[in-house]
Amino acid sequence: MLVNMKDLLKKAQEGSYAVGSFSIANMEMILGVIKAAEEMKSPIILQIAEVRLNHSPLKIIGPTMLAAAKNAAVPVAVHLDHGTTLGCIKEALELGFTSVMFDGSHLPFEENVKITKEVVALAKKYGAATEAEIGCVGGSEDGSVDIAMRCTSPSQAKEFYEKTGVDALAIAIGNAHGFYKDAPELRFDILEAVADTVPVPLVLHGGTGIEPEDFIKCHQKGIRKINIATATFASCEGKVREGYEKGEIKGYYDLHQKEISGAYENAKKHIEIFWSQNKANL
């Protein structure tokens, strides 16, 4: 069933677990992620970043995500990840996305506050939730720019939350998008300090490559939404490559099935680590 992201994360906050927010690019990935969530009886978030819409047009992928969510046996929120333009955010809201992110992390603080406030007001009209980012997660969603990581200042996070009223706040604690060059050393001290002062659910971007024990520490200390993108794409690619190597792909629908299983296995693995299994009752 399609749900508001706020409700999913509120429940996660009460139960001290995190909800996986899985980036998808096509129907096969959507099917794989939903299959894992249904099997694990877990709530999930389906997301796509604005920068990816040149591959998967919003007008086509958006309604597909929403239809999959509505038909799922578990709660699914549909989220626009890393929205950068008000036009795209509005289009997602018009389609019925139940959550949107405005990413102004690279902007001066006051400008990030100003635009985030506009997005919060806009999303409210549609009954949708909002996410914003403070500090700067390293890398970039599609790897096109290598943004330097800047850890979140806990006092700035508090001020940002109070000024904007966002529903979920993405923070930077040593995490980065894409594959990590060196093993990430997450700043749990910063996470604790932010969680102490900011009452809304916190979001961890750059989930690919973070060790299971670090994920567990993250949700024990206040992270409620964890974004996974690169790991899903790599899992799908890996399954397809292996399928060809083993001679298992004999036609298009074998390829289609391999992609679904790549997304499924990756989502299932993460749902277990995030402790969201058997949490489908909202």
Classify residue 102 by burial, with Cβ atoms within 10 Å: 0-12, 13-18, 19+.
buried
CA distance 56 to 60: 7
Binding ligand 13P by CB under 6 A: which of 4, 23, 112, 140?
23
Q: Interface with ligand 13P includes 206 (CB under 6 A)?
A: yes
| 81 a catalytic residue | yes
Closer by beta carbon to ligand 13P, 233 or else 275: 233
Closer by beta carbon to ligand 13P, 201 or else 207: 207
**Cβ neighbours of residue 45 under 8 Å, at least 6 residues apart?**
5, 8, 19, 20, 21, 22, 76, 77, 78, 79, 99, 225
Residue with tokens 């904007």: 164
Count CA atoms within 13 Å of residue 165 on its CB side.
8
Q: Interface with ligand 13P includes 81 (CB under 6 A)?
A: yes
Binding ligand 13P by CB under 6 A: which of 6, 11, 52, 177?
177
Residue type, 211: E
Q: Interface with ligand 13P includes 236 (CB under 6 A)?
A: no
Q: Interface with ligand 13P includes 92 (CB under 6 A)?
A: no
Q: What is the CA radius of gyration of the chain?
A: 18
Closer by beta carbon to ligand 13P, 227 or else 235: 227
Which one of the spans 146-154, 156-164, 202-210, 273-281 is the region binding ligand 13P (CB under 6 A)?
A: 202-210
Binding ligand 13P by CB under 6 A: which of 7, 41, 178, 216?
178
Whether 138 and 172 have beta carbons less than 8 Å apart is answered as: yes
Whether 41 and 74 have beta carbons less than 8 Å apart is answered as: yes
Whether 177 and 137 have beta carbons less than 8 Å apart is answered as: yes
Q: Interface with ligand 13P includes 238 (CB under 6 A)?
A: no
CA 199 to chain CA centroid, Å, is: 19
Exactly one of 7, 81, 167, 254 is catalytic; name it.
81
Q: Interface with ligand 13P includes 279 (CB under 6 A)?
A: no
Token digits of residue 207:
């989930």
Q: Interface with ligand 13P includes 169 (CB under 6 A)?
A: no
Please report how close the Cβ of residue 212 comes to ligand 13P at its closest, in angstroms: 14
In 85-162, beta strands by DSSP E: 99-102, 129-134
Token digits of residue 9:
């994360």
Q: Interface with ligand 13P includes 50 (CB under 6 A)?
A: no
Q: Interface with ligand 13P includes 141 (CB under 6 A)?
A: yes
CA distance 216 to 227: 14
Whether 122 and 86 have beta carbons less than 8 Å apart is answered as: yes
Q: Interface with ligand 13P includes 207 (CB under 6 A)?
A: yes
Closer by beta carbon to ligand 13P, 20 or else 257: 20
Closer by beta carbon to ligand 13P, 221 or else 270: 270
Please report how close the Cβ of residue 224 comes to ligand 13P at its closest, in angstroms: 14
Q: Interface with ligand 13P includes 231 (CB under 6 A)?
A: yes
Q: Interface with ligand 13P includes 28 (CB under 6 A)?
A: no
**Which residues make up the interface to ligand 13P (CB under 6 A)?**
23, 49, 81-82, 141, 177-178, 205-208, 227-231
Catalytic residues: 81
